[in-house]
Structure formats: structure tokens, C-alpha cells
Amino acid sequence: MMTMASPAAALLLSCKLFFCMALLLLLLPPNTAEAAVSCSEVYSDLYPCVSYVISGGGVPSSCCNGIRSLNDSATTTADRQAVCRCIQSATTSVSFTSYSLRLAAALPARCGVRVPYPMSPTTDCDMIP
């Protein structure tokens, strides 16, 4: 018999996803212009990564596709900073295990996406180039 996750568990899962998205966007190449990436785009692209960040295992191809899509979309400094802010606002009240943080940090490499910045939950979004 299959049981449904509680609303609190579902919220925690969603928040972990948002954190992963913020970390990924911090690693995108620098450029400047007005932000064109929306929070809904970020959440949609990275939602497939949630199960991996929570429990590990194989990275779903849909997760890697989302990471590549965000990498391609967030081409400017404003884009990357906007994505960072979207994720941070969604995860401010969630604490993450060191295991989940390591998995999130490893996602770009696991997906073959080269990102030149370190990933950290304490990143100052305004300092993202």
C-alpha cells in the first residue's frame, strides 16, 4: 500500500530543490544585463533533481536536462543573481543535511556541466558575477 507524504515533508522536499537551484545558478558564467530568468522557470528546470538531492543514487536525466537549460538561460549577471534570490527566498527556513549539500554541490559535475564558481548555501547573491 502506498502512503502519501505529509504536507510538511512535501514542503521540505520542495525547499531542498530550490536550494539546489540557487547553488547551480551561482556557478554560471559571468555577463551583465537585465534578468530574464523567472523563479517559475528555475523551479521547473530543477524540480527533477529533488529526489537525487534528498536520497542520492543516480542523477535523473531530466535533472541534468534542467541544469543544462538553466545554464543556457542564465547568461547574464542579473539572471544568475535573480535565480539565486528566488531560491534563497524559498529556502530561508529550511536546514539541509551535509549529505544533501554535498549531493547538490556535485550535480553540475555529475551532469557534465562546467560551472566556474564554488557552490555554497551562504553565497551572497549580490556578489555573483
65 located within any domain: yes
Residue 101 belongs to some domain of the structure: yes
**What does the pLDDT read at residue 125?**
84
In a domain, 15, yes or no: no
Query: For the chain, what is the domain count?
Result: 1
Give the ranges where the chain is alpha helix by DSSP (H): 7-26, 39-46, 50-55, 61-73, 77-91, 98-110
Range of 52's domain?
A: 39-115
Question: Could you read off the pLDDT of 83-124 as tens digits, one per residue?
Answer: 788 777 766 666 778 888 889 888 989 999 976 665 666 778
Instruction: Flag whether the pTM goes above 0.75.
Output: no
Q: Is residue 70 part of a domain?
A: yes
Q: Look at residue 23 and tell me if it is in a domain.
A: no
Q: Examine residue 103 and state whether it is found in any structural domain, yes or no.
A: yes
d(CA 122, CA 65): 26
For the stretch 15-46, pLDDT in tens is 565 565 555 555 544 444 456 789 899 889 88
Give the pLDDT score at 122.
74
Q: Is 50 a domain residue?
A: yes
The CATH number given to whatever domain includes residue 56 is 1.10.110.10
